[in-house]
Structure 1
Amino acid sequence: MIKVGMLSFWHVHAGDYAKLANEHPDTVIAGIWDEDAKRGRREAEARQVPYYETLEQLLQQEDIAGVIVDTPTDAHHDVMLKAAAAGKHIFTEKVIAPTLKEANAIVEAVNKAGVSLTVSLPRLYDGYTLAIQQVLQEGWLGKLTHARVRMAHNGAVANWLPEHFYNLKETHGGAMIDLGCHPMYLTRLILGEPAAVSTQYGYMTGREVEDNAISILSYADGAIGVVETGFVTPNSPFTIEIHGMSGSLMYGFQDADKLYVRSTVHEDGSMVAIPIEANAPNAFDQWVQSIQTGVKTADNVTMAIELTRLMEASNRSAAEQRAVKLSELQA
């Protein structure tokens, strides 16, 4: 049994990860630390596990093999460096860190310590993503010209997000660096590495961070990626559309269990419904397997680094009101 320590319940998904740890047959929560002691004690009492007053105290527990990181984003770097130095395997909420320099330092520390790192990038492993990759491998769309992925909710207008999610210092951003991560890494998966990022942020509810956002990824070959997100739309569907010189793919506009593809490759050019595949093992399951086998989740970490690059570029683009080349970022 792998004993796991929870490092903070700051993030809205911390409870979800605690549930995964409790339900997985090979893991159990063995302790909790939180920068908010009141919250940490409450969560520890609810789970009948020890609460540790300091991060160092939890990391000193030799029976705790891994940690789940849900601290404020601005604490990720320091917390994960300490966890790696203590020999703890790490499962973390995205983003791995708000800057490429910090993310690379975390990965370097993890590799030096010989521990496993996995980042929560859940949409990578959903069946529709696997089906999309299969369509692209078949070449039905031809050379890709455009991809658009939208994911948004109403957290800022319905007020169900915690107030600290609007604290710029802790979060390093709002809708884009939180919810926008999912359409961002999917667009990166579909189109590959862009040359530059142009981003616009909107502030519709008057918070310190953006609640309405769009990033445009530009590519050397002329392709364009569009990443849309926000906290201000109650009925916005999660959608993916991909266009190429031979066809188009749509997901989320009709049945949630099918992709729709129209391609000149098909004889009559009619719309074809592609069934969604079963999900791959989720990121938490992959992390547990990595601990057990010693095989790193390398593809996951690579995409997490790419996600941080794109988020850093997006934040800089919005702040400076210009396109930011990825080559500008300090590694």
Structure 2
Amino acid sequence: MKTAILGTWHVHTEEYTRAILANPQAEAAVIWDSDIPRGKAFAEKLGIPFTDDLDGILNDASIDSVVVCSATCDHPELLTKAANAGKNIFTEKVLTIGVEDAEKVAAAVKAAGKVFTISYPHRTFPTLRAAKALLDSGKLGTVTYARVRNVHNGSSADWLPPHFYDKAQCGGGAMIDLGAHPMYTLYWLLGEPKTITSTFTEVTHRGVEDNAVSVIEFANGAIGVSETGFVSECNPYTLEISGTDGAMMIHGESAQWGGKATGGKWVDLELPEKMQLPVDQWVDAVTNGTPSPFTIDEAVMLTRLMDGAYKSFESGTKFTF
């Protein structure tokens, strides 16, 4: 598959581009960016041609696929144009800032009938896949509660790029960026959201939240808590799931569970084999026809959750989906 990289704005652009370069089934043919100096510097670093002609890429029938790593505010235009041009699409989360834009992009993607994948890497982790399998097995009984905490020190240690604090480009701060992982994990585990309530604060005072929590009521009666932030040190990833017959916890790389089936004792959770990351699964889906992971409908759901989280915070009230 011959691939164009559209935008070099995101911090994961190099990771995805190198994955394409390393995959024998794919070719990183060209780089485009609306910021020409930034795009040229990135292209030179990785030894890939640069062009400022977006329409030229989209009209080039030999380029069948695109990786979209632009500013989130540019996603609606780029994703819609790429879909209308018949390209396979891999995109960084979130799909769009607003729900209306997400639905328009989804309509274009579905009409194109090409392979679409959004990057939900946490769902490939052995620990989280084991947690989902345990939940689905029924051994936890009726699941009543799940909490996901995913944080880093990007603001407090000052290593995030300045544009990650630009609300117009990003749609917000920590929640819409790093908080995407807890959000897509929670709806994967618990299903359709019903309401959401948010509390956000600014610890480093950069104009967007860097410390954030959203509490979600799900249609099945479960409660989910999405925690994120850019101001935490040495705080490992945490997932807790509680049910009427048992509970489980992931703390960093450690995964354990206990309940009626274990006689009330906590035991190690058996982990599956490591899975390919989403970008490599996307290449496999395009070239070999394997199922595409993390579909357009799931992408729209993440935007719905984020939209509700921010509307709740801005209004100071519970948001109902």
TM more than 0.5: yes
**Residue in structure 2 matching 1:264, options 260, 265, 288:** 260
What code does the residue aligned with 2:3 have?
V
1:135 aligns with 134
Unaligned runs of 5+ in 1: 327-331
2:308 aligns with 313
Cα distance in 2 between the residues matched to 1:41 and 1:220: 48
Q: Is residue 281–residue 293 contact of structure 2 (8 Å, CA) maintained in 1?
A: no
Greater CA drift, 162-171 or 297-306: 297-306
Cα distance in 2 between the residues matched to 1:11 and 1:17: 10
Q: Is residue 116–residue 296 contact of structure 1 (8 Å, CA) maintained in 2?
A: no
Cα distance in 1 between the residues matched to 2:117 and 2:52: 26
Q: Is residue 8–residue 34 contact of structure 1 (8 Å, CA) maintained in 2?
A: yes
SS in 2 for 1:275: coil
In the TM superposition, residue 107 of structure 1 has moved relative to its aligned partner by 1.7
Question: TM-score scaled to structure 2, two decimals?
Answer: 0.96
2:297 aligns with 302
Q: Which runs of 4+ in 1 moved over 6 A?
A: none
1:239 has 2:234 as partner: no
Measured against aligned partners, the alpha-carbon deviations of 1:30-88 in whole angstroms (never above 9, x if no partner) come to: 10111111011112222332211132222233321111101000000001111112221
Q: Is residue 118–residue 294 contact of structure 2 (8 Å, CA) maintained in 1?
A: no
Q: Is residue 150–residue 227 contact of structure 2 (8 Å, CA) maintained in 1?
A: yes
2:283 aligns with 288
SS in 2 for 1:62: coil
1:53 has 2:52 as partner: yes
2:15 aligns with 16
1:225 aligns with 224
Cα distance in 1 between the residues matched to 2:93 and 2:141: 32
Cα distance in 2 between the residues matched to 1:252 and 1:221: 26
SS in 1 for 2:276: coil
Question: TM-score scaled to structure 1, two decimals?
Answer: 0.93
Cα distance in 2 between the residues matched to 1:197 and 1:8: 32
In 2 relative to 1, CA 124–93 (structure 1 residues): closer, same or farther, beyond 3 Å?
same
Measured against aligned partners, the alpha-carbon deviations of 1:238-282 in whole angstroms (never above 9, x if no partner) come to: 0000111111101116xx1x421110122x321111132112332
Measured against aligned partners, the alpha-carbon deviations of 1:115-144 in whole angstroms (never above 9, x if no partner) come to: 211100001111112111221122221111
Q: Is residue 154–residue 160 contact of structure 2 (8 Å, CA) maintained in 1?
A: yes
1:278 has 2:277 as partner: no
In the TM superposition, residue 298 of structure 1 has moved relative to its aligned partner by 6.4
What code does the residue aligned with 1:117 have?
F
Unaligned runs of 5+ in 2: none
SS in 2 for 1:56: helix
Q: Is residue 126–residue 278 contact of structure 1 (8 Å, CA) maintained in 2?
A: no
In the TM superposition, residue 296 of structure 1 has moved relative to its aligned partner by 5.6
1:39 aligns with 38
What code does the residue aligned with 2:261 have?
V
Task: Give me the identity figure in percent.
Answer: 38
The RMSD of aligned alpha carbons is 1.5
In 2 relative to 1, CA 298–275 (structure 1 residues): closer, same or farther, beyond 3 Å?
closer
Cα distance in 2 between the residues matched to 1:262 and 1:52: 55
SS in 1 for 2:269: strand
2:165 aligns with 166
In 2 relative to 1, CA 264–90 (structure 1 residues): closer, same or farther, beyond 3 Å?
same
Cα distance in 1 between the residues matched to 2:184 and 2:113: 26
Cα distance in 1 between the residues matched to 2:220 and 2:286: 40
How many residues align? The count is: 321
What code does the residue aligned with 1:86 have?
A
In the TM superposition, residue 213 of structure 1 has moved relative to its aligned partner by 0.3
What code does the residue aligned with 1:271 have?
W
Q: Is residue 67–residue 83 contact of structure 1 (8 Å, CA) maintained in 2?
A: yes
